[in-house]
Amino acid sequence: MRKIPVAALKPGMKVARPIYGSSGYVLIQQNVVLSRRYIEQLRQLGVPSLYIDDGLLDGYQIDDVVTDVTRMNAISRVRDLVTDLEQPNPASRIMLRTKEVARNVDQIVSELMSQPDLMVNLIDIRLEDDYLFGHSVNVCVLSLITGISAGLNNKQLVHLGVGAILHDVGKGVLPRNILYKPGPLTNTEFSVVKTHTSEGYSILRDMTHARDVAHEHHERYDGSGYPNGKKGDAISYNAQIASVCDVFDAVTSDRVYRAAYPIHEAVELIAGSGNQAFSLTLIQKFLENIAAYPTGSIIELSDGRIGIVIDTPRGFCQYPRVKLLYDQDTQPVTTPIEVHTLDDPSLIVKRVLPEQEIAKLRASRAR
């Protein structure tokens, strides 16, 4: 199973994971064989990418860290809460919605705690109109995984998760033409967007743990953030965790005005921000569970061989286990061979192959 851009889809490819639209309905089911019509519909709907099953990882299972049902339920709860903000006098409904959100967070905690060696190998695929809601849930999941690595107890994890899933709730009261602008913001527009931190604080003012995350997730460890330029541990611990996860999820998500960063580049971005944008200790906890080269990535090793990533051991995000596909002369490897880069100091990942090169290589060897 591999994630590829919709622009690279070809008729005959098989869908490996379903794509969900607004309100949780399925846009395209798993195991559907793509036709030109399907591909064109996906383009028109704004689907940025798709997981496809091309047989390269037969026999290997790749699961999300939370179930699709749990993720979609959480997205629906966030959507309901943000929708209520647009109604007159929403205070009573917001209290009810936050209780529903807390129950979803508790379920996410339970699922994550049952996986002691979990690694994030899948990036959820979301439509632009669902970006805020999917982003909120993903920041929650990533924050909880980091909190587990940091040794937080169950009660602390739920507090962290509720704050993380509601970190952007203040955006629900911002002008939609600014929030969903398909391009870079002007300085004036960015000033408006920055008010979502204080708006979030106001909406969540009776929820101490959540309001601090909403208010401080754009503060930075070196004092360069907003709204108050807080520095170091003057920033709440939960907000510090959420801020790392917020940036990571934002840069690895496709937007209408830019393509997503490859995961390994996002990992390098976060890793290089230690004790500047973020606490180095929290960065280390965050990266323990992130695969820089997610399962299904096709990579070239430093010795010239090409393979597909099977998995990555927890705590060693840049050292994947690889199933070899081609030798140094780009001849197909016919005998199954796995390489553990962690066990061979001479081997590192040289690069990730772009989809166009993968398609060309496979086509040339199929003749």
| Residue 200 contacts residue 175 (beta carbons within 8 Å) | no
| Residue 26 contacts residue 45 (beta carbons within 8 Å) | no
pLDDT in tens, 129-179: 788 999 999 999 999 999 999 999 999 999 999 999 999 999 999 998 998
**Domain range summary for the chain, segments of one domain joined by +:** 2-53, 68-287, 298-366
pLDDT in tens, 88-126: 777 767 878 888 999 999 999 999 999 988 899 887 777
Q: Tell me, what's the pLDDT at 65? A: 93
* Cross-strand partners of 299: 307, 352
Interatomic CA distance for residues 67 and 95, integer angstroms: 26
Q: Tell me, what's the pLDDT at 98? A: 87
pLDDT in tens, 168-224: 999 999 998 998 888 889 999 999 999 999 999 999 998 988 999 999 999 999 999
Q: Tell me, what's the pLDDT at 365? A: 67
* Cross-strand partners of 28: 19
Sign of CA dihedral 257, 262, 266, 268: negative
The yes-or-no verdict on residue 61 having pLDDT over 80 is: no
Name which of 137, 158, 122, 17 is nearest 80 in CA terms: 137
pLDDT in tens, 319-331: 999 999 999 999 9
And the tokens for 132?
């805020």
Q: Tell me, what's the pLDDT at 264? A: 96
Pairing verdict, β 49-53 and 14-15: antiparallel
Q: What is the mean pLDDT of the chain?
A: 92
Top-level CATH class of 68-287?
mainly alpha
Identify the DSSP state of 26.
Answer: E
Q: Tell me, what's the pLDDT at 22? A: 67
List C-alpha distances in Å: 189 to 162, 193, 194, 200, 250.
Answer: 28, 6, 9, 18, 18
Q: Tell me, what's the pLDDT at 287? A: 97
Name which of 121, 211, 199, 208 is nearest 166 in CA terms: 211
Assigned CATH topology for domain 2-53: Molybdopterin biosynthesis moea protein, domain 2 (3.90.105)
pLDDT higher at 163 or 59: 163
Q: Tell me, what's the pLDDT at 63? A: 81
Task: Record the pTM.
Answer: 0.93
Q: Tell me, what's the pLDDT at 328? A: 95
pLDDT in tens, 290-302: 999 999 999 999 9
